[in-house]
Structure 1
Amino acid sequence: MNARLIFTLIKQKNILRDANTTADDVIANNHSTKLFILLPCQVVSVICSLFVGINIIKRPAKFIKPIRNHFIIPLLITSFVQVTTELSMVENYLHIGVVLPSTNSYCLFFNWYTFSLNGINLFVMCWTSIERHIIIFSQSVFQIRWKRIAFHYVPLSIAILYTPTWYVAVIFIYNCVNDWNYYELLCTAPCFYENRILGIVDWLTNTIIPTVLIAVANIFLLIRVIYRSTGIRHNAERTKRNKKMTIQLLAISSLFLVFRLPIAVTGLMQQLFDVTFIIDIQFNIFSYLIYFIQLLLPFVCLISLPELKKTIGKTIRRWIRRNAISDVRTLHVASIMPAMNQ
């Protein structure tokens, strides 16, 4: 994506909007529609996050101890934080129509917070897609302590810390003057995008490359698992476990690909062919689609954790059984009451 072109087009759109009352009405209607969609999804997502989180915390040996599930913890935490805080900031903007408080420091924080949270989940998912090859096909690596630290905990920590550090550098430390528009989401783009090199590096490094790596790593993983399952017949249990881990990863990574590929592909088109007709679609639709990754993530995690599904199933069956016994007792008491009254 041509960062300087985007920055210029945003400013041009703002000037036209300020001079056109009809455009303001259209924008207000769009804001109401987005708020109407996002708000109920937020409530349901928070409930599901709490439900999944409480069940994971209550049974750490099942859900937290296995190394294959470690990536789910930062994903769920980041998702919960973003849905409860950053998405609320976005909904406040959609409701009022202006970023409040309208200050330079808040706009800087808003940009850094949004980019950092999106980046954490993207890079955690990227590394997990690569690491799953090691877990399935070279599991003995993680049985050695220093290798477990070097090839699991260190990359996972880097995936979590990289984007917040990068955006501190380009948003807070990089020397440029921000020209904020408080009537745009995130107060428009931060000024480092005016530097063409920085803009392209950010777009490639923090959007395109990790998204492509997720897709490529998952495709190759699926091919390897299918090939291995057809070649090994003597270890059915291991083959079954590998398929479960692959399905778990594919379910979660597909969520990232479905909602991130549109903005990545259109950005690539703009970079290669310098097209501008999809700029409004990017800012008005694709930029909001990313929030559905965080909104739907708890549900996908719930579905992709077989142990959690079994636990929930047992809880539901126990609850139904308890209610059924209670109903039988009530009916029994009701049936003998007339006899006692005689």
Structure 2
Amino acid sequence: MSTSNTSLDIIARAVPSDGIAIPLIGRFWLFLISNILSLVCGFFLLFHLVFDATLRHGLHNHVIIAILCFCLFHELTVMPWEIHFFRVGVVPIQSPTICMIMKFIDTVVYTSMAKLVGWASVERHILIFHSKWIATKMQRILIHYIPLMLIIMYGILLYGITTPINDCGIPFNYNSMLCGYYSCVYNSAGYSLYEFMSGGVLSSICIGFGSAFLIIRIIIQKRRLQQQVHWRRYRKMTIQLLSVTSIFFIIYLPPVLLGISKKLGVPSSVGSDYSTYANFFSNYVILLFPFTCLGTLPQLRTRVKTILRFCYRQQQNRVVPITITVKPIQQSRV
């Protein structure tokens, strides 16, 4: 084994001093396998949502398609960057510009996903209980498409402006995840509070209360009308929302609640170990999202069987060359 490979193995098997008792090599395999599986699931789901006309035209699927695109873009850009770091202990491209781009993508995807899921939790109330609000094309543009586009553009424009602000002389650390970079705008207590409230707190309120009230409203209406038709009609939209919000309840909301408690006076030392691990596993909001949506895909079992049957037929229809041995004809002696 060469000296360079030996050095890489030593680095990968070391446990960094970041408070997480997982060596770099363990993190490497953990995120590599997770990222590959998530990519396969994400592309499979996005293919069916986009190329199936019924699913594509469903208004409740548009926010799912947008989040899937964010997830896949993150898994094709930032995740390979982080996986490489876990393997060798240094970022793959030691460039301030590239470091800021990776930080920009990571921040936009993570924060925009929370806002989009928060909006989906609110929009489900409109789609289920106030469908007359989106009866016309203009109403759908105003109530459905414009909010979706504004949420996407808000994150891109906000972090496109704030991420490059680095006038406080913060050095880039290429031996740290994403170069250890953060924008100097976070030195402002006012801006930090604004982003925490508009991003973490507001998204958490929309996700938590929006999902809870949706279930309560459905139960009340079902009992009041005593009809199964309404539940069967909107069951898929409700289950889809609850499946998506489940990972946010588990991974995203607890750190936000801990941050709120610290803003209210709880000592910063409380939950410090949890915060460290929560920040490390925050990428699993992105990695697990395609799997939470996969179970809500209509006729999933039929689609999988169709794909497997097609592959099997293709395998059977392959032309296999046959070797034919021709024996020479022996001439009889005269």
Q: Report TM bin, short chain.
A: 0.7 to 0.9
Separation of aligned partners in 2, 1:99 and 1:320: 40
Give the drift of 1:88. 1.1
Counterpart position of 2:188: 195
Matched ranges for 1:1-342 at <5 A: 30-59=23-52, 61-173=53-165, 175-188=167-180, 189-234=182-227, 236-272=228-264, 273-276=266-269, 278-279=271-272, 281-283=274-276, 285-313=277-305, 315=307, 318=309
Separation of aligned partners in 1, 2:243 and 2:118: 14
Give the drift of 1:174. 7.3
Contact 2:163 2:183 in 1 (8 A): yes
- Relative to the length of structure 2, the TM-score reads 0.81
Over 3 Å counting, the alpha-carbon distance change for 1:190 and 1:100 in structure 2 is farther
Contact 1:225 1:243 in 2 (8 A): no
Write the letter of the residue equivalent to 2:287.
Answer: L
Write the letter of the residue equivalent to 1:233.
Answer: Q
Identity of aligned residues (%): 25
**What is the count of residue pairs matched by the alignment?**
300
Over 3 Å counting, the alpha-carbon distance change for 1:28 and 1:94 in structure 2 is farther
Give the drift of 1:33. 2.1
Contact 2:165 2:183 in 1 (8 A): no
Contact 2:164 2:183 in 1 (8 A): no
Give the drift of 1:252. 0.8
Structure with larger RCO (C-alpha < 8 A, sep 6+): 1
RMSD of aligned Cα (Å) = 2.7
Contact 1:120 1:161 in 2 (8 A): no
Over 3 Å counting, the alpha-carbon distance change for 1:274 and 1:177 in structure 2 is farther
Over 3 Å counting, the alpha-carbon distance change for 1:27 and 1:103 in structure 2 is farther
Separation of aligned partners in 2, 1:106 and 1:28: 29
Separation of aligned partners in 2, 1:22 and 1:34: 10
Separation of aligned partners in 2, 1:310 and 1:302: 13
Give the drift of 1:74. 0.6
Counterpart position of 1:337: none
Contact 1:192 1:198 in 2 (8 A): yes
Separation of aligned partners in 1, 2:244 and 2:20: 33
Contact 1:124 1:156 in 2 (8 A): yes
- Relative to the length of structure 1, the TM-score reads 0.79
SS in 2 for 1:304: coil
Over 3 Å counting, the alpha-carbon distance change for 1:146 and 1:154 in structure 2 is same
Q: Deviations over 1:33-65 (max 9, x none)?
A: 222211111111111122222333332x22101
Contact 1:302 1:309 in 2 (8 A): no
Q: Structure 2 regions of 5+ residues with no counterpart?
A: 1-13, 317-334
Contact 2:165 2:185 in 1 (8 A): no
Give the drift of 1:258. 1.3
Separation of aligned partners in 1, 2:240 and 2:278: 26
Q: Deviations over 1:77-103 (max 9, x none)?
A: 111111121111111222222234333
Greater helix content: 1
Separation of aligned partners in 2, 1:139 and 1:67: 11
Give the drift of 1:115. 0.3
SS in 2 for 1:64: helix
Separation of aligned partners in 2, 1:28 and 1:96: 17
Q: Structure 1 regions of 5+ residues with no counterpart?
A: 1-20, 327-342
Over 3 Å counting, the alpha-carbon distance change for 1:237 and 1:320 in structure 2 is farther
Separation of aligned partners in 1, 2:32 and 2:217: 41
Separation of aligned partners in 1, 2:83 and 2:108: 18
